[in-house]
Amino acid sequence: MSTGPRTRTLLKATSTARRQAITASYSALTQVCVATADDAVEAELVSEHPTHAWELPRSNALVLVHTDVAEARALLRSAQLLERHRVPVVTPRYPDALTGGGRAVTFWRLPGRERHDPATSARVTARIHRIDPGTVRWLARENHDPFNGLLDGLDNAPVLDPCKPFLRDRAAEHKPAQLAAAQRFEFTVPDTVITNRADEAREFVAAQTAGAVYKPLWNTPYAVDGRPHAVWVREVDPADITDAVSACPHLFQAKVPKVFDARVTAVGNRLFGVRIDSPDLDWRRRQDRMTCTPIDVPEPVARSVNAYLDQFRLVYGAFDFAVTASGAWYFLECNPNGQWAWQPAETTEVIAHALADQLQKGRDA
C-alpha cells in the first residue's frame, strides 16, 4: 500500500480487523484510480466514520469509499441538485459512483490549496460528518477555526431552514470551538493542547504537575466484535504516548483536582444544576456508582452559560464542569443534545416542564 505517512503509522498500530478494513478500502480506491487515471500514491485516510474518506494529495481530491451504493448515488444527486441551484458546493469530479472491490467510490473536487490548511480541513470535516455540502463555503471562512465561519454565516447561508438547527448542533459539538467559546465567555478552562505530534503531547503531559487526561475530539461510536464501545476520559502519562498519535488530532488536558462534578442543564435562560459524586474520573463510565443531588449554579457561571448559548444560537445545552475544593467551576464541555432524564426526579420534572414551555413558545421567545 502506497499510502501517506500518517496512514502507514495507523496501519502499524491498529488491530488486525481494522487493518483489513482499511486495506480493502484502499484496494477499492486504487482499482477505481486505474480506470480514472487519478493518482492514489501517498493517499491519507482522514476518516472511517461513517464511510472511509481518503485525501489524494497528487490528484487534489477527496475520495469516499462507500459500502452502500445507494447511499453514494444519493450523495452525488444531492450535490448535483445544489449545484444546479447555484448553491456553493463541493462538486463531484465524476457524475456517478464508480465501483471497485465490491464498493462504491465517489470523487470530490478540492480547490488548489495546501493539504493541511484550515479550509481543506473544513471541507474534509463537512464530508466526514455529513454536513450539507452547501455550507462548506461558510465552514472554510475562518482561518483559525473553520466552524466559526459556519456559525457566523449560517443565518444567511442558502440552506433550508429545517437543516439549520442540525448544523448548529453539529458545530456546537466541535471541541476546539467549545473551548474557544468557553474562554471567550470567561469560563475557567483547564490548560489544553490539541495535537497529532507525539513530542508535543509528551511535553505538555509532562508539564502538568497535577496530571493530565486524554479525551476524544468527537464522540464517535465504534464496535469491537460487534459490541458497542466508547472512549472514556482517562489519565495519561508521557510514556503512554506513542507515534500512533500522528494518525489524527488528539486532545490532552490538565487534570482538574476536583472534589465533585457538576452538570448544568440549560433550557433557554433557565438553568438546572446537579452535583455528581462518583469514584471514577469519568462519571459516565459507571453511572450505577454515582450519586446526584440538586445544586445552585453560581451567578458568574450562569452568565457565561447564557452567553455561550447565544454564541452557538442554541436553546438547550448540557454543560459539564469539574468543581474544586476552592469552589472553582472548570468548564469541560457542552453537549447540545445531552441526556437529562438520568438526574434526580425533582430535577427531571422541572427540566421536562421547561422543555415543554420552550417548545410552546418557540426559539426566539
Examine residue 23 and state whether it is found in any structural domain, yes or no: yes
| pLDDT higher at 94 or 299 | 299
> What CATH number did the domain enclosing 267 receive?
3.30.470.20
Rounded to the nearest angstrom, the gap between the alpha carbon of residue 230 and the centroid of all alpha carbons in its chain is 14
pLDDT the model gives residue 259: 96
CA gap 18, 5 in Å, rounded = 17
pLDDT the model gives residue 328: 96
DSSP alpha helix (H) spans, the chain: 5-13, 16-36, 69-84, 118-128, 136-139, 146-153, 163-172, 175-184, 198-207, 299-312, 345-361
57, 132: one domain: no
Q: pLDDT band for position 295 (50/70/90)?
A: very high
pLDDT the model gives residue 212: 94
Quote helix, strand, coil % in the chain, to nearest 5: 40, 25, 35
Q: For the residues 130-144, what does the mean pLDDT come to? A: 37
131, 218: one domain: no
245, 292: one domain: no
Q: Domain ends where: 254, 286, 308?
A: 254
pLDDT the model gives residue 97: 87
| pLDDT higher at 341 or 133 | 341
> Residue 41 above 80 pLDDT?
yes
Note down the domain range covering 206: 192-254
263, 244: one domain: no
> Residue 124 above 70 pLDDT?
no
Examine residue 175 and state whether it is found in any structural domain, yes or no: no
Q: pLDDT band for position 116 (50/70/90)?
A: very low
> Residue 28 above 80 pLDDT?
yes
pLDDT the model gives residue 174: 74
Q: Euclidean distance between the first and final Cα of the chain, in Å?
A: 57
Q: Could you say which DSSP state residue 261 is in?
A: E
Examine residue 186 and state whether it is found in any structural domain, yes or no: no
> What CATH number did the domain enclosing 59 receive?
3.30.200.20
Q: For the residues 316-340, what does the mean pLDDT come to? A: 94
39, 133: one domain: no
- Percent of the chain's residues with pLDDT above 90: 28
Q: pLDDT band for position 207 (50/70/90)?
A: very high
Looking at every residue in the chain, the average pLDDT score rounds to 78
96, 129: one domain: no
pLDDT the model gives residue 160: 40
290, 231: one domain: no
> Residue 154 above 70 pLDDT?
no
pLDDT the model gives residue 219: 64
Write out pLDDT tens, residues 158-188: 434 444 455 566 667 778 778 888 888 999 9
Examine residue 63 and state whether it is found in any structural domain, yes or no: yes
Q: Is 335 helix (H, G, I), strand (E, B) or coil?
A: strand
pLDDT the model gives residue 137: 40
pLDDT the model gives residue 265: 96
Examine residue 185 and state whether it is found in any structural domain, yes or no: no
Examine residue 178 and state whether it is found in any structural domain, yes or no: no
Minimum mean pLDDT range among 94-98, 138-142, 191-195, 210-214: 138-142
Q: For the residues 51-61, what does the mean pLDDT come to? A: 86
Q: Domain ends where: 254, 272, 307?
A: 254
| pLDDT higher at 194 or 126 | 194
- Write the DSSP assignment of 275-293 as a string of letters: EEE-SSSSTTTTGGG-EEE
pLDDT the model gives residue 320: 96
Q: pLDDT band for position 155 (50/70/90)?
A: very low
Write out pLDDT tens, residues 249-280: 788 999 999 999 999 999 999 999 999 999 99
Contact 260, 277 (CB under 8 A): yes
Examine residue 182 and state whether it is found in any structural domain, yes or no: no
pLDDT the model gives residue 10: 82
Most confident of the ranges 114-118, 173-177, 241-245, 330-334: 330-334
32, 7: one domain: yes
Q: Which residues contact 147 (CB under 8 A, 6 or more apart)?
A: 122, 139, 171, 174, 176, 177
10, 37: one domain: yes
146, 216: one domain: no
Minimum mean pLDDT range among 84-93, 142-151, 224-233: 142-151
Rounded to two decimals, the pTM is 0.58
| pLDDT higher at 252 or 146 | 252
207, 296: one domain: no
Examine residue 187 and state whether it is found in any structural domain, yes or no: no
The CA–CA distances, whole Å, from 330 to 99, 108, 174, 182, 296 equal 50, 41, 18, 10, 15
| pLDDT higher at 117 or 230 | 230
CA gap 41, 58 in Å, rounded = 7
302, 352: one domain: yes
**Total domain count for the chain?**
4
